[in-house]
Structure 1
Amino acid sequence: MVNIYNHVLPSCLHAAVYKQIGWRRRMIVVMVVVVVTTVVNLAITTTTTTILTTPGYLTISPEQNTSECCADVGVAGGLGVSDASGNYTIHTFAWPGSAWDGMQEAGVCLATHATVDRLHFLAQSVQAWTGPVSVAIFAPGVDYGVAVAMVRYLRRCVERISTHTSFHLVYPRWSPIREVKRGSSITLRCDKPEESNLALLRLREQFNHRTELRYPQNILRNVARSACPALYCLNADVDMAPVQGMWSRMAGYLSRRPGPLPCHRCALVVPVYETAASLQTPPADKMDLLRLVLKGKARRFHVQVYERNQGNSHLEMWEVEPGIRTKRDSSSPYGILYNITTYEEFWEPVLVLPRTAPTFDERFLGYGFTRSSQVYELHLLRYQFEALNEAFLTHRGFQTTSSYSPTRRAQNEINHVRYQIFKRELHARLGLPPPAPLRLPPSPLLSFLAKRHPTSRLVYLSGVRKG
């Protein structure tokens, strides 16, 4: 606070001038200074709640109460552990939620993953998902500084993130974490998480930032899932928004489900839809979503990109649920609408699984077959797939292949071949006959590999070279 008598008056009025004016004018001057000083102090108190300064790796400014901050101590790079391949370093619980120790009875946990440019999605997700959230962040090199700042911002601005959300770090061993050194200040608004995220991303512009790194999403998914304290885990992407009340209704159903807990061969299917980019908020409930579908402002996820993504979920049955009412008890537990007894390869549902379920196969880097490979294994292990009646996730923006980069298409082709290797190994481990050989359509990438490395196992399995 500013002391008006010791600081403001001497700077505003020379002592000699102050003595020459009458007492009434003196009182008016003092009153004006008091009002101005009060306004200034109020403005300082208000704005400092959202100011982040950036010496080192973006620390809270001196005006703020640093005890409220989550990341006053940075992550020591030498204290991470290696993944199974030896190519990535992992820091679990880099910033744990303050109430995480009491989450063992939560029933179900949301496990998600993100690059530093997509962390802002968490601000909206935790408003609907009020249970524990485990987040694995991919933060190579200078992305670490952005991650520290964004985590701090989220935990200062969203109370449930500071208490119910734990963050973990993953980065390649050849791109270790680097601190962002900059002496300027950044003003962030708590009601503008996306804009704040973009502002923090500019911190890495001064560096030679690498953007071509393959995204190890299955490693990230496994890290987030392994840190979940509950019996069940919903593993969804960070840009998939849960419907309101999802955690409490799902936890209520799981706690009342007949039979032993957890159900070791149960896979609960959560439908995923995509909404028009013009919609600022996700649908509030299932009826709201179905209205958007009828208006053409929502559709099944990836229906225009790859229909098999959600095809085997039979969402045509989910969308015509019998007995649907205009008013529902938003707090009642979910139920099972129907069992899914069919299986179509390359199906990629978002699932709620017991913590004993198989993990994601970490050989798949980048895009393609990262989720469908796990579903294939669950199918061979005879898991029972069940569609929840009113639970769903939404992704903002219609998906089209035109937005896919050539790098993503190349990753998909490589992972298509890895998928065949995965299937052969899985069949051998389970004592099943080998799967049918994979034959891909002609691909410029694989044709190039066939010419450069004709004896490559990758080329052999792709079917480009006969053997």
Structure 2
Amino acid sequence: MLLGAPALVSAKPEQLTAAAKGDLLQRCFNKHYNSTPGVFEDFLRGFNTSLQLHTVLWSEKELEPPMSVTVFVGATMERLQALEAQCRSYPGPLSAAIYVPLLQQEDGEDLTKENQDHIKKAASALKALFQRAEASPTYCALTVQLLYEAVADPPLAAIVPINTLRNAALLAATTPLVALVDVDLAPSDSLGARVLKPGSDSLREITDGCEKRAVWVLPAWETHKRLSMEEGTKVADQALKGDKAQLRQFDEESRLHWFAKLAYRKGHAPTNFSRWLDAQEPYDVAYDVNYEPWFIISRSMSPAYDVRFRGYGWNKVQQVAAVALSNFTFRVHPDAWLVHRPHAKSSGQALYRHQDGGGGRKRTEETREWKGTSAPLSRLFHRRVSALRHVTIRDMKRGTYRPAVDPQVRHCRAVLPWWKGQGPT
């Protein structure tokens, strides 16, 4: 039988069962839930995103010896297959926050019958994935949160509150070290099997570095877009299970290249992939504007993700810039990497990349009145992201920047036993 809420809050983390941890997380997160359905203009105004934590499934796996790094991720229901692939690739704790937008004109605590059915169906799908993970000795130790947002406006549902989800997923991490790995990427087999092996010299080096304000960059690769989905998936799987010689071969054959090399070079160029392919020891790289690697970092030192950023555009760059501003060293690990798995375009990219519809005709886009002028939603979205980027950079230069964090996460960080007194916001 579970202890009462006050007793749970005062308990030591190691004394809590998986169910008790999930109960505590759900209680603290929902305490400050604002059930008023949101609209697109709320994003433009910078209002807080408020999510209801509907379900928490917390792994009861007892990893022996325990792993020191939790991989965390925010995602949508359409990415469950990718989440399962990620879980298969990492034998340690993985915390996922899954987003479901619900079109709801009335109060978000009194869902329509249709929305009740929708969220139940989502919960059932997550439970099935969770049970597969629990039953497999080779899967991750999965903790998954199902969160919904009541929206009165379909365009708001199209821009996923990704940084709110990342902060929520991070709340469930109890290990000293964490690593954001977006859902379409998976870690190499070497990460869990050798690099983070409990008791290894490699893990001691990583832990020591993190304690001294270093982040350990995990170089990311992706398959070439000319490959079919089937061939790309096969190459990605081989790259995850192979070694650096395999990566080099795929790179030379133009079947694989470093992440965003063709689309956004400045996002990952500082990692220096040519050097990495030959590296046998870690090396430090200088931060540059717009650098956005994935990395291992101390949980208690990691800056929060700025929740003003929704959808695509600068949501992760902002946090990496905050890490650099906090005087962290970016250190590239030579023996572990990430690979992006090919997938169909997400529905959430519509506002970021407004493309032609079928038949070569431009798709009609909704316009809105905003500050005295009428503009397409995609233009309003880009203007908002651009303005947020400007304000963020300005405040960083002034030394006044603080990432915006919603009241739900702030409260949970203040009361959860494994977060009390830890973690800057």
* TM, length-normalised to structure 2: 0.64
The residue number in structure 2 matching 1:155 is 130
Alignment of 1:297 onto 2:255: yes
How well do the aligned residues superpose, as a CA RMSD in angstroms? 3.6
Shift of 1:121: 1.4
Return the alpha-carbon distance in structure 2 between the equivalents of residues 171 and 349 of structure 1: 28
Counterpart in 2 of 1:230?
175
1:413 Cα offset (Å): 4.5
Pairs within 5 Å for 1:117-156: 117-141=78-102, 142=115, 144-156=119-131
Aligned with residue 217 of structure 1, among 162, 167, 186: 162
Residues 262-318 of structure 1: CA deviation (Å, up to 9, x unaligned): 515111111111114323332112222222111111111111211111111111211
Alignment of 1:225-374 (within 5 A): 225-252=170-197, 255-257=203-205, 262-275=210-223, 276=227, 277=229, 278-281=231-234, 282=237, 283=239, 284-285=241-242, 286-321=244-279, 336-340=281-285, 342-355=286-299, 356-374=301-319
- Correspondence 1:384 to 2:347: no
Q: Alpha-carbon deviations, 1:54-79, whole Å to 9, x = none?
A: xxxxxxxxxxxxxxxxxxx9x99998
- Is residue 95 of structure 1 aligned with residue 65 of structure 2? no
The structure-2 alpha-carbon separation of the partners of 1:77 and 1:259, relative to structure 1 and needing over 3 Å to count, comes to: closer
Percent of aligned positions that are identical: 20
Aligned residue identity for 1:155: F
Conserved 8 A contact 1:104-1:229: no
1:418 Cα deviation from its structure 2 partner = 0.1
- 1:186-197 equivalent positions in 2, closer than 5 A: none
Q: Do the aligned residues in 2 keep the contact of 1:368 with 1:415 (CA within 8 Å)?
A: yes
**CA-to-partner distance for each residue in 1:338-386, whole Å, 9 max, x for gaps?**
111x222111101111112211111111111111111112222221111
Contact 1:273 1:395 in 2 (8 A): yes
Cα–Cα, structure 1 residues 170 and 264, in superposed 2: closer, same or farther, change >3 Å?
Answer: farther
The one-letter code matched in structure 2 to 1:309 is G
- The answer to whether the 8 A contact 1:234-1:353 is kept is yes
Contact 1:105 1:230 in 2 (8 A): no
Over 3 Å counting, the alpha-carbon distance change for 1:94 and 1:221 in structure 2 is: same
Q: 1:290 to 1:94 in 2, by over 3 A?
A: same
Asked if 1 retains the 8 angstrom alpha-carbon contact of 2:190 and 2:335, the reply is: no
C-alpha distance in 2 between matches for 1:259 and 1:134: 20
Change (3 A) 1:363 1:386: same
Name the SS for the 1:120 alignment partner: helix
Give yes or no for contact 1:104–1:230 (8 Å, CA) kept in 2.
no
User: Is the contact made by 1:134 and 1:225 (CA closer than 8 Å) also made in structure 2?
Assistant: yes
SS class of match (1:424): helix
Contact 1:269–1:387 (Cα < 8 Å) also in 2: yes
Contact 2:100–2:146, Cα closer than 8 Å, also in 1:
yes
Deviation of 1:408 (Å):
4.2
Does 217-226 or 155-164 show the bigger shift? 155-164
> Residue type matched to 1:280 in 2?
T
1:390 Cα offset (Å): 1.9
**Residue 127 of structure 2 aligns to which amino acid in structure 1?**
R
One-letter identity of the residue aligned with 2:253: K
Please report the TM-score for the alignment, with normalisation by the length of structure 1. 0.59
Alignment gaps of 5+ in structure 2: 1-22, 35-46, 103-114, 355-377, 402-425
Match of 1:421 in 2: 391
CA apart distance, 1:250: 3.2
**Separation (CA, whole Å) in 1 of partners of 2:64 and 2:95:** 11
Distance in 1 between the 2:248 and 2:203 partners? 28
Task: Give the direction of change, closer, same or farther, for the CA distance of 1:366–1:406 in structure 2 (3 Å limit).
Answer: closer
Give the conservation status (yes or no) of the 8 Å contact 2:94–2:140: no
Q: What does residue 396 of structure 1 align with?
A: 341
Displacement of 1:234 in angstroms is: 0.9
Deviation at 1:92, TM superposition (A): 8.3
- Given the alignment, which residue of 152, 159, 166 partners 2:143? 166
In the aligned structure 2, how far is the partner of 1:107 from the partner of 1:421? 36
Counterpart Cα distance in 2 of 1:269 and 1:414: 30
Residues 144 and 258 (structure 1 numbering): CA distance in 2 closer, same or farther, change over 3 Å? closer
Extract unaligned runs of 5+ from structure 1.
Answer: 1-72, 176-207, 323-335, 432-467
The structure showing larger relative contact order (alpha-carbon pairs under 8 Å, at least 6 residues apart) is: 2
Q: CA deviation at 1:258?
A: 7.9
Q: Mark the CA change 1:390 to 1:417 in structure 2 (over 3 Å): closer, same or farther.
A: same
Whether 2:58 is the aligned partner of 1:116: answer: no
